[in-house]
Structure 1
């Protein structure tokens, strides 16, 4: 079984995934737009939504981050990403600092990246696209306790 994160954006999925691709030095495996949807699906896509992202898939290490823009045929208005954070475990202080500062660029820091009782570095931020992140480089004792 594999558990993956799927994010919904309000028209800026392409920009977000290009940003994440740079931050994580990740591989963009797929990105398709609503314009690419076959007519046989029977959904009428407004001209203004044809270039929105229908599905994107980014490979970060051995994990997948997937997303789309809010579907143009979705009756509910987009309300943002609420009540969730993406937790990222890294293997060094340097990687924690690099990733935290890259993701925080033009975003907001909720908890500065600092040493805690369980981690060499831990911090929380919301990036420029409204996605909440937790960056964690655990101390050995915390890693051992989690096994």
Structure 2
């Protein structure tokens, strides 16, 4: 059976820092494997060639792009997280929006009793819903 995973391609060598943040935020967070670029390969030696991690039950792949692109992450492709409690939602929202951008502050928008949307400091978008 085929398997589909989100793939986060970071510019500027931020993959490792981002993965470390994400796995620390969620109780099941874990870096599963990391392959680094070797001397002579495209990109910065030691940067993340390919990594896999898990956070909030979701497997994710990540890489540091060796090529500068004219595009980056878009808010239209967020991670959607159903939070177990208001405390968890507030903690995640504070951490993920820190040095990032609040797209929709935590509030009642009618479709959810409490919802917030933020782009983190790496540009990855997060929708946090109080289930």
Rate the CA distance shift 1:2–1:115 in 2: closer, same or farther, 3 A. Answer: farther
Distance across 2 between alignment mates of 1:109 and 1:116: 15
Q: If the length of structure 1 is used for normalisation, what is the TM-score?
A: 0.75
Q: Greater helix share, 1 or 2? A: 1
**Larger Rg: 1 or 2?**
1
Is 1:63 paired with 2:66? no
The equivalent of 1:8 in structure 2 is 9
Residue 78 of structure 1 deviates from its aligned partner by: 5.2
Q: If the length of structure 2 is used for normalisation, what is the TM-score?
A: 0.84
Distance across 2 between alignment mates of 1:78 and 1:29: 30
- 8 Å contact kept, 1:55–1:67: yes
Per-residue Cα deviation, 1:18-53 (whole angstroms, up to 9, x for no partner): 1112222411111221129xxxxxxx514x612110
User: Which structure 1 residue ranges, 5 or more long, are not aligned?
Assistant: 37-43, 139-147
The equivalent of 1:33 in structure 2 is 36
RMSD over aligned CA atoms reads 2.1
Counterpart among 64, 69, 82 of residue 77 in structure 1: 69
Residue 118 of structure 1 deviates from its aligned partner by: 2.7
